[in-house]
Amino acid sequence: MNIVKNKDQNKGFLRRLLNDYKVVISSEDTFEEKASFRMSKISAFLLALAYSAILILFTISVVFFTQLRELVPGYSSSELLNRAIYLTKKTDSLEKQIALNNKFYKSIEDVLSGNTEDLIPRENLSIDSNLVDNGSIDIYPNSEDSILRLYVENQDKFNLTKNELVIENKMFYSPIKGEITQNFNFKENHFAIDIAADVGTPVKAVLEGKIIFSEWSLETGYVMIIDHGENIISVYKHNSKNLKEQNEFVQAGEIIAYSGNQGNLSTGPHLHFELWKNGTPINPEPLLNFN
């Protein structure tokens, strides 16, 4: 009996789901019928299910295919991604430029220290593909491209009208005051002027810039090299003491060292001062006042 009763109940439940019901939309005030339609319970359920699915799909589409996706945790804005890509490329470019500058500075240091007479022009330097990764910098002087050899062939290149005028608009500070004891002379490989000064006289930076070399050597005592940008470099030798270290920034006229009589090549208390532009030594006397 119970089994038969349960079957009847199930059939009754199914009939109720499949039976059509009339849904009437009427006016609240007059109860006038405005619209009506027939629908079973199962049809209403399926209609609600389809509506929910459409709503969910529409919401997903709006969120993930429009700018609203930026509000979802884990998604970055397109502007941020573009900025990150730009900064990555910019960083890579700066790393290559730094490596190129390091090669150029190393080439100048080799010339100044007497290790070689060949100076590689900046425009002839190249960056190895693995240079930035392993940090190694190899200098291979090429005599065919030597600036110093070209100077011998064309001395007019170093006169005032062609070389010193390119930086004449700079406001130079005199590194030290005193009598010039030896002038600039390329033929004698003296790419500087020597200014007599008592030991301990303050030495000043001629322009603002970054210290790229600050060390002591047996031949020239304490040496300092400053990069002033625009391919301008100044060199100060035979110091008794350096007050600045490598990678420090200095202002024009700031005291960076004390003059001295250091090094085997020194002939007395003085400052050995050099000025370079584009890898070329320049006579600084027309540009500075040492009196």
User: Which of 149, 177, 198 marks a domain boundary?
Assistant: 149
Residue 64's CB: how many other CB atoms inside 10 A?
11
Average of per-residue pLDDT values in the chain: 75
pLDDT in the model for residue 60: 78
The predicted-structure confidence for 146-187, as pLDDT tens digits, reads as follows 555 555 455 444 444 444 444 556 788 899 999 999 999 888
Let me know if residue 69 belongs to a domain: no
Identify whether 270 is part of a domain. Answer: yes
Tokens of 281: 């030594």
pLDDT at residue 150, rounded to an integer: 55
Do 51 and 107 fall within a single domain?
Answer: no
Percent of the chain with pLDDT over 90: 24
Domain match, 134 and 198 both: no
Residues 182 and 271 grouped into a single domain: yes
Q: Would 219 be classed as within a structural domain?
A: yes
Q: What is the pLDDT of residue 204?
A: 94
Q: Give the chain as a 3 state SS string.
A: CHHHHHHHHHHHHHHHHHCEEEEEEECCCCCCEEEEEEEEHHHHHHHHHHHHHHHHHHHHHHHHCCHHHHHCCCCCCHHHHHHHHHHHHHHHHHHHHHHHHHHHHHHHHHHHHCCCCCCCCHHHCCCCCCHHHHCCCCCCCCHHHCHHHHHHHCHHHHCCCCCHHHHCCCCCCCCCCCCEEECCECCCCECCEEEECCCCCEEECCCCEEEEEEEEECCCEEEEEEECCCCEEEEEEEEEEECCCCCCEECCCCEEEEEECCCCCCCCCEEEEEEEECCEEECCCCCCCCC
Please check whether residues 165 and 278 belong to one and the same domain: yes
- The per-residue pLDDT for range 43-96, each reduced to its tens digit, is 777 888 888 889 888 887 777 677 666 666 655 556 666 777 777 777 777 777
Are residues 170 and 265 located together in one domain of the fold? yes
Q: For 227, how many CA atoms within 13 A lie in the half-sphere containing its CB? A: 20
- Mark whether 186 and 278 lie in a shared domain: yes
Determine, yes or no, domain membership for 290: no
Taking each helix axis as running N to C, give the angle between helix 2-18 and helix 41-64, from 0 to 180 degrees, rounded to the nearest 10.
Answer: 60
The strand pairing partners of 193, in sequence order, are 273
Q: Work out how many domains the chain is built from and give that number.
A: 3
- Are 160 and 278 in the same domain? yes
Report residue 223's pLDDT band, with 50, 70 and 90 as the boundaries: very high
pLDDT, residue 139, reads: 46
Q: What is the pTM of this model?
A: 0.48
For residue 168, the domain's CATH number is: 2.70.70.10
What is the domain range of residue 143? Answer: 78-149
Query: Domain check: are 144 and 164 in the same one?
Result: no
Q: Does 288 fall in a domain?
A: no
Average pLDDT over residues 264-271: 88
Choice among 186-190, 211-215, 273-277 with the minimum mean pLDDT: 186-190
pLDDT at 98: 77
